[in-house]
A and B are shown apart, each in its own frame.
Chain A
Amino acid sequence: MALGEGAAGSILPQSLQTRLKRIAVILTAALVAIFVTIPVYIMVAIAVQSPADVFRGGTVHLIVDTLTFRNFRVLLEDTNTVQYFINSLIVTAGATTMSTALAVAAGYGLTRFEFTGKTLAARAVLFAYMFSPIVLAIPLYVIFYSLGLLDSYFALTMALTAISAPFTIWLMWQYFQTVPISLEESAWIRGASRTRTLWDVVLPVARPGYISAAIFSFAVAWNDFTMARVVMSSDEMYTITVGASLFLDRVTIGWGETMAVSLLISIPPFLIAVFLQNYLLQGFNVGGLE
């Protein structure tokens, strides 16, 4: 497909196209800002007010005039929130690291090495996602029970890795295909080993790719409910999603505590979003080397 070919777009003059683009950009940005901010703001506003303030007079008040940490205090004093939270952090960190590392290595292997059945194997892996996970809880429990792996961080980390890895591997496989082999070739010619090359040349280039793989595996692990419910069976080992679902249906727990725990659950995602998005936008900075 050659550039500059006649197309529908070329009916409009370039200056108008540029202006349209600018308007579209601003409009979309504004819409997103509203669409994302309002729901998140609602959560925060309810978490930091006492329920009696939120609901006074029969309407939901979202303007925070009296700040209180009452809801958080209830969580800390009456529930195991801290322990649940730590458990979640442990397995999420483990699963994110493992899944991303696997994806980088496997994605690179799939791109750079030829072996028979490569495409077929990679496609077959995706078929796992087609089975409704609802009915897998029982088989999984049976397997982990038989292996004596119930109630362990290791088992949950492993299971969460297995859930995200098929997709992260695909992501990296595709991503590496956009990285020109010539970069590596020139390193090899200079005498660098394959591992060295992978480390020094390939990884930096692949950064946006593996950052998005990491974001995905983080989301899978942090969001997980089913797996934690299968693998963990004691209160000290529950992750925050399972733990919260346990205390949130108590008679004494209301919307204030619900939103407070939601806010706590949102902190790691927020930090991840702030930190990783910078790396995500490091951009294609090796173009000149080609």
Chain B
Amino acid sequence: MGDSGEGSQDTTQSDGSDDSDTSDDSSGGDTSDTITYLSDRGDSKEIIDQIIAEFEDEYDYTVEVTYTSKGTSTDEQLEKMRAAGNPPDIIFDTSSDAYRYQRDGDAAPVSDAVQGTGLPDPVNVDGESYFAPTMVEPLMGWYRNDLYDENPTTWETWQSEAQRVTEEEDIDGYVVQTGQTNNADTSITQYHWQNDVQIYSGPSDDIQVTIDDDDNRAAAVETYEWIQSMAESAPNGAGWEWGDGISALQQENAAAAMSVGGLPILTIQANRPDLVEKLTPTAFPVPDGKGQDKWWAYMEGHVVWNSGSATEGAKQFVDFFSKSDKFMDFVLSAPLFQFPPTREGLDSDAVQNNETIQQHPEVMDLVRDNWDSFTSILATGDDGAPNIVAADAYGQQVMGQSAEQMIVGGLSPDETVDWVADELRSLQD
């Protein structure tokens, strides 16, 4: 059954007609009525099981889920299954990964589940959608409102205030994560965005690295200089992942840290309930006079593999999932961390009435006010075109590594820009 894969790749790609009706696009195998589904959403297992049960009642398929832990273990599982000629039918992954699968000719279109439904369509190639989003997870910072008199907001104020807190209180003012971790990579990228550094430019098929060209070099150096100065008011954050930055806040070793959504408050709620009211969410620091126009948000959802043994069933399941009345329960199984993929979803009663969300209205305000600037790392080509170089760079955490080169390795901000430009260019082919 598995060997139908290689031959069918060409069919899938050349089949990309504008007609969004994909029911006749029998690219994958349909030899099995068991849909295999690879997911790293153990958090939502209960709801996923309920959606599957409803699906199985209506359709003649059964769905078998293999759960993986977050991080690279999905990739590992996928590699194993591919090598055995037994690829999964559906993968829960980020939009960047979806785009990579599409580029490699492994994804089947799910246009029915996306187009005309109001869902964003971040992986649209030649009119076909290859990714059905289910949630967004925006970055967000948290600071101590008892130590900072008000949100410092700008780079300049953050710099002086973090220094003041570090000197006056028994705590570091800020956290600078560096190294090969998602926390480091996302925040360093976001710092560049805050300073309007165009790391890349060009359309999807011709992405250029522009971080060190005439227009951007000065701004990129400035960003690294700012990071360097913030590191002086921060503990050694080399190799810090989300959990480490949160621990620093929780143990009162740092008075502010950039993280993802409400993750810090959810953790601290359990461990240090007394600290919760002293923490306020914030956007990333922004240079004086610049706007908040690009805000990193992960987008995660479903990809259908085109060489599995139940491709048609998989498409039906993805469609069913997105339209299920349990969909919002799925998103809200980790409230404040995962948000619905659409504006309507965000404003829905389900979100409004969620207890955890109601406790932290400031988070929702930030999300609502900045909804339009949410950007996934994939959408960083010209006019938001998919940018595979950026996606690959995120996969290897090049930006996070660049900060480590500077802060641990002692490169100057100028040399760091050279270093990062070299690394990014090596990903171009």
Interface residues of chain A, those whose CB is within 8 Å of chain B, are: 51-52, 54-56, 58-60, 137-139, 141-142, 145-146, 229-230, 233-235, 245-252, 254-256
Contact = CB atoms under 8 A, between A and B. Distances in A.
B271 A230 contact: no
A141 B251 contact: no
A141 B271 contact: no
Nearest to B263: A251
Contact of A250 (B43, B66, B251, B252): B43
A60 B247 CA distance: 11
Nearest to A55: B271
Given A55-B272, A229-B73, A251-B266, 16 more contacts: A52-B271, A55-B251, A58-B251, A138-B83, A139-B83, A229-B77, A246-B42, A246-B67, A247-B42, A248-B69, A249-B42, A251-B267, A251-B334, A251-B337, A252-B266, A254-B267
Contacts of B42: 246-247, 249-250
Given A52-B272, A55-B272, A56-B272, A138 B86 contact: no
Contacts of B337: 251
Nearest to B38: A233
17 contacts: A52-B270, A52-B273, A55-B272, A58-B250, A137-B80, A138-B79, A141-B80, A145-B84, A229-B76, A234-B65, A248-B69, A249-B70, A250-B42, A250-B334, A251-B267, A252-B43, A255-B271
**Among all A-B residue pairs, the 10 with the closest Cβ atoms:** A141-B80, A145-B84, A58-B252, A55-B271, A142-B84, A51-B271, A251-B334, A250-B43, A138-B83, A233-B66
B317 to A, nearest CB: 17
A145 B42 CA distance: 24
Contacts of A233: 66
Interface residues of B, number: 33
B376 to A, nearest CB: 20
A244 B77 CA distance: 17
Contact of A137 (B69, B76, B251, B271): B76
B81 interface: yes
Contacts of A52: 270-273
Nearest to B335: A251
Interface string B272-303: 11100000000000000000000000000000
Nearest to A251: B334
Contacts of A137: 76, 80
